[in-house]
Structure 1
Amino acid sequence: MSGTVSGRVLKAMGLFGGVRMLQILFGVVRVKLIALWLGPAGVGLFGIFNNAVETVRTLAQLGLSSSSVREIASQPTALHRALIIAVVRRWAWILGLFGAVLMAAGAPMLSRWTFGSSDHTLAYMGLASVIFLLSVNSAGEAILQGLGELRRLAKASVWGAGVGLIVSVPMYYFWGLSSVVPSIIAYAGATCFFTLYFGPRGIRVEHPVSASETLSLGKRFIILGIYMTAADFIAQAMSYVFVAWLNVRGGDSEVGFYQAGYTVVNRYVGLIFAAIATEYYPRLARVAGSAMRLRVFVAHEMRLLLLLLFPAVLFLIALAPYIVNILYDSRFASAVPFITIAMAGVVLRGVSYCMSYVILAKGDGHTFLMTESLSAVAGLALNIVCYRWWGIAGLGVSYTLWYLLYVIIIAWVYCIRYRQALPRRLVLFASLTLCLTVGAIIVASIISPLFLLIPAVISGLLSLRSLRRLLMNKRK
């Protein structure tokens, strides 16, 4: 079974890894142009506005994009799936409109809190349309993921990102800082259009879905979604509070350095997590009632993820100065120490990642709320303290300490609440990976980052050898 699962995971990762790479390439071009034409202030404004959008969107969507995947994937027949899909779409429109109204109503307050004046009220009001578009888009992606239509989902993602970039580029060049909000709207519109265009075909319900059915059937995933929304809203709010605090204390350039480093660490490295989650989450949800299968899947996923992460982490540590210069420019060199130190946190994130999905697979909303809220508050406190002590570089320390704490929280839930356990050899493997990563960070800081290129190549070859063995088990 290990080989079969590995084959499915690697196939999904190959598909969505390619998609994420293209999206990242489009994003690199986008951020590079923003950095060149708009400067650190433009990067900072994008971070501030996108944080506001994510915060309001998280509150308005009630976790629909995640809870509905679980609901769709677990349906026994095509008719049941068609009915749930119709309900999901209706809830997406309702919640999208609610979020747009919420964003428009809170625009004056957001402008005063973030910038100290009401000068950006119209900008925040314009972002209300983005909330609606993202709600419809998220529901469309959740439907495709729940149905297993991964190729359609991949096409929608690539076309949306590509066209969104093409539409945005002229805005950056001709409008300067005034293009920030219109380009965000245009990008959201492009992604939403192609998600709908590549949506599933031939899905019909036997009868029109009534309002009572929308409420009764939607309640099953909305209740879980409310817990998820509360947790995600707290996390996004803590992130927004920190960005706003950093903007007041250090200025928009410091926000730009932070956003640059955080994007490399959390988004570009996160393509591995995102690619695997597309297949891992629905698969885990289908076996949530079996303790043994959960334990096997989690252990297998963690081993596979660490094999993929370690070479990537070493390459990022070795090439961090060059990556920042390529993605942004030399003015963003202050983000390099943040990226380098945070690589230890990336390894810890991989360990916690595999166990944390068990909470969602079981639909344990209360536990999810508790763990994520505690993590978000701790993350905010660590960010503020470490920035005060060490500046932008201290945020890398904060990122690592944050995920160390998160591993402890999630491991307690996984082992004590769900009575699961990790194999001893896997724990040793994860510990060794973390120690080697910390050693690489020290070497990069004391000697030279380029000194790690040879170990990175060797670890990559060893990881490929291990993955090949897993696939050979599948063939056997």
Structure 2
Amino acid sequence: MARFKNGISPVFHGWKSMRSGACFSFAGVFGSALLWLASFKVVALWLGPAGVGLYSQLRQIVQAATVAATYGGTNAVVQGLSEREDESDRFRFRVMASRLIGGTGAAMAILIFISAPLLTRFFLSSDDSALIASIRWLSLAVLLSVGATYLMAVLNGYRAYGHLAAAQIAGPSGLALALAAVYFLGIDYRPEMLVWLFILCFGLSFGIGAWMVAHRPRTYTAQTNDSLTVRETSAFLKFAFSTLMAALAATVALLLIRSWIIESRGLAFAGLFDAGWTLTFNYTTLFLTACSTIYLPLLTRATEPARQKACMLKTAYLVLGISTLVGYVMVMFKTPLIRLLYSREFDMAGDLLAILVVAVILRGVSWVYGTLIIATRSSRTLLLSDLLLNVGLLALVWCCLRHRPMLEALGWAFVTAHFLYLVFVVEYVRRKNGQMQRRRIWPLVAVATLPLIFRSDEAQWVQLAIGLCVSGIALYSYKTVMT
């Protein structure tokens, strides 16, 4: 058996670091999530389902453009910083990444400004001049969002979790407060106002993030040559392009789905869909983002099969336990939850929420397994798997809107697509690491999801008890994984 310094495994040190950073990471992500949720509540009271539909679509356009300009979000920068130990190497990497991302972000903002009429017609099914003006203003929001995302990736890569949390919370705080002021003061609504609030939000995040990065201690001497070699730059671009296409596939797929819903059923129906989707998928994404700030760097360093297995299983059990517990409670109290966070006008989103909980349980586990593709830089697999997932999802949603345009049918489309993706990533990980057995995860996933698939209003308490038991078993399994 391998001996480690002081008798302690490096994985133990990793998990100790994970626990110490978890508080800041989760505070930042979930503080931001609660503030975004508060903003949706104000928009729901102020403008109703149609307003929520427009607000969500504008936000999705910003997200899609940000993902494109940052080469897939934060993963490429975080992974690049995590694999470099020398501070001067990290600085040279940051210089190269900032130039690429800054240039791409500026180009994306200019493109949005120029093509505003076309984007308005395609994504909002409208030629209204006020909406076209809103899209033009959105170009500035995109530029600030790109800058904020890059700065947060740098803070994440340096494991400055406290500073990262401050940058994550700053923008949504300003957004929620400004929206509340507009609502309570009774200021007349204009579509551009929603975009101005986005500019405020991302501008605050960018400003705080820039200040945090600028005031990081510099522990190396100035370099006359501050650029990476051609080989290093090519390696980054290859990996970044794959993460870009993978992340963009998911973001654009959701943007298209919302556009099809608006075109087929209108903004009000899109608002109902977004209520169910936001309370499940959106906040699951935020939870996984919080986990990723620590899990991705840890898994990147776990090059031995045993360490990979311990890292993945502990994270899988933790994610499954938390998502199952929260999901079952949400299904049990879906109607009061929707009325609390939105309004009575959104009650129809309750059945969609119950179905999407199944999909997010599947997604959480598949994310844990699929992160191995990113950690090992399997660029081709990352690209193909995400493209197939999202093309399949688009095909299922398109069929639903054509033949059965109901919220519940849309929910089952998401469940089907994410089940197939989970099958793929479990088999992929098993092939790459023979120690990752199917029986370690599939029984728990099956017991967690089947009561929700065959749910009955008459047996809600029984289903809740099953969910609590599965969650407890998963969290106990998390404790028993040997590190």
Could you state the TM-score of these two structures normalised by the residue count of structure 2? Answer: 0.88
> CA deviation digits over 1:382-407, x for unaligned, max 9?
22333542601122211211110111
Q: Which moved more, 1:169-178 or 1:293-302?
A: 169-178
Superimposed CA distance per residue, residues 405-437 of structure 1 (whole angstroms, 9 cap, x where no aligned partner): 111222333233x3545235413xx42343343
1:180 equivalenced with 2:194 (yes/no): yes
2:176 maps to 1:165:
yes
1:123 alignment partner in structure 2: 134
| 1:401 maps to amino acid | T
Aligned equivalents of 2:389 and 2:436: distance in 1?
A: 22
State the AA in 2 paired with 1:174: I
* 1:236 and 2:269 correspond: no
Structure 1 position 368 matched with structure 2 position 382:
yes
What are the residue-to-residue correspondences of 1:347-362 with 2, within 5 Å?
347-362=361-376
**Residue number in structure 1 paired with 2:102:** 93
Deviation at 1:356, TM superposition (A): 0.7
Q: Which 10-residue stretch deviates more, 229-238 or 122-131?
A: 229-238
User: Which residue is equivalent to 2:345?
Assistant: 331
- Which residue of the partner structure matches residue 59 of structure 2? 50
**Structure 1 Cα separation of the partners of residues 429 and 445 of structure 2:** 21
Offset from partner CA, 1:180-235 (integer Å, 9 cap, x none): 2211221111111111122251236623556x648765433222111221222232
Percent sequence identity over matched residues?
A: 21
**Residue 226 of structure 1 aligns with which residue?**
241
Separation of aligned partners in 1, 2:12 and 2:480: 5
Alignment of structure 1 residues 71-470 onto 2, 5 Å: 71-114=80-123, 115-117=125-127, 119=129, 120-172=131-183, 173-178=186-191, 179-199=193-213, 201-203=216-218, 206-207=222-223, 213=228, 217-287=232-302, 289-387=303-401, 388-389=403-404, 391-416=406-431, 418-427=432-441, 430-443=442-455, 445-447=456-458, 449=460, 452-455=463-466, 469=479
Aligned-partner residue type, residue 150 of structure 2: A
- Deviation per residue, 1:242-278 (Å, 9 max, x gap): 1111101101011101111111111223343222111
Match of 1:30 among 34, 39, 48: 39
Offset of 1:58 from its aligned partner? 2.3
Whether the 8 Å contact between 1:40 and 1:257 is mirrored in structure 2 is yes
On the 8 A contact 1:42/1:177 being kept in 2, the answer is no
User: Are the equivalent residues in 2 in contact too, given 1:71–1:221 (CA < 8 A)?
Assistant: yes
Deviation at 1:14, TM superposition (A): 3.3
- One-letter identity of the residue aligned with 2:304: S
Cα distance change, pair 91–344 in 1 and its aligned pair in 2 (3 A): same
Deviations 1:301-351 (A, max 9, x none): 212222222212211211211211111011111111111012221221122
| SS of 2:255 mapped into structure 1 | helix
Matched residues, number: 466
Question: What amino acid maps onto 1:434 in structure 2?
Answer: A
CA distance, structure 2, for counterparts of residue 426 and residue 336 of structure 1:
32
Give the direction of change, closer, same or farther, for the CA distance of 1:374–1:434 in structure 2 (3 Å limit): same
The whole-number CA distance in structure 1 between the counterparts of 2:229 and 2:59 is 31
Native 8 Å contact 1:83 1:205 kept in 2: no
Partners in 2 of 1:161 and 1:11 — Cα distance? 25
Match of 2:3 in 1: none
Please list the CA deviations of residues 67-110 of structure 1 after superposition, one character each: whole Å capped at 9, or x if unmatched. 11111111121222222223333333222211111211221211
* 1:465 to 1:112, Cα distance in 2 relative to 1, 3 A: closer
1:10 Cα offset (Å): 4.2
Distance 1:470 1:153, change over 3 A: farther
1:2-21 residue pairs with structure 2 within 5 A? 6-21=15-30
Structure 1 residues 344, 375: CA separation in 2 closer, same or farther (over 3 Å shift)? same
Moved more, 394-403 or 155-164: 155-164
Aligned equivalents of 1:108, 1:205: Cα separation in 2: 50
Matched, 1:65 2:78: no
Letter paired with 1:413: Y
C-alpha distance in 2, partners of 1:100/1:208?
32
* Offset of residue 452 of structure 1: 4.5
Kept in 2, the 8 Å contact 1:82–1:205? The answer is no
Contact 2:429 2:436 in 1 (8 A): no
AA at the equivalent of 1:202: P
Bigger drift between 113-122 and 7-16 goes to 7-16
Q: Give structure 1 stretches of 5+ with no counterpart.
A: none
- Cα RMSD (Å): 2.7
- 1:377 offset after TM fit, Å? 0.6
- The verdict on how the C-alpha distance between 1:121 and 1:393 changes in structure 2, with shifts beyond 3 A counting, is same
SS class of match (1:148): coil
CA distance in 2, matches of 1:15, 1:450: 34
The amino acid across from 2:201 in the alignment is: Y
Distance 1:307 1:64 in 2: 27
- Which residue type is aligned with residue 42 of structure 2? L
Could you tell me which amino acid in structure 2 is paired with residue 46 of structure 1? Y
CA spacing shift, 1:308–1:91, aligned 2, 3 Å: same
Within 1, Cα distance between the matches of 2:457 and 2:229?
60
Structure 2 distance, partners of 1:158, 1:118, is 33
**Alpha-carbon contact 2:452-2:463 (below 8 Å) kept:** yes
- SS of residue matched to 2:84: coil
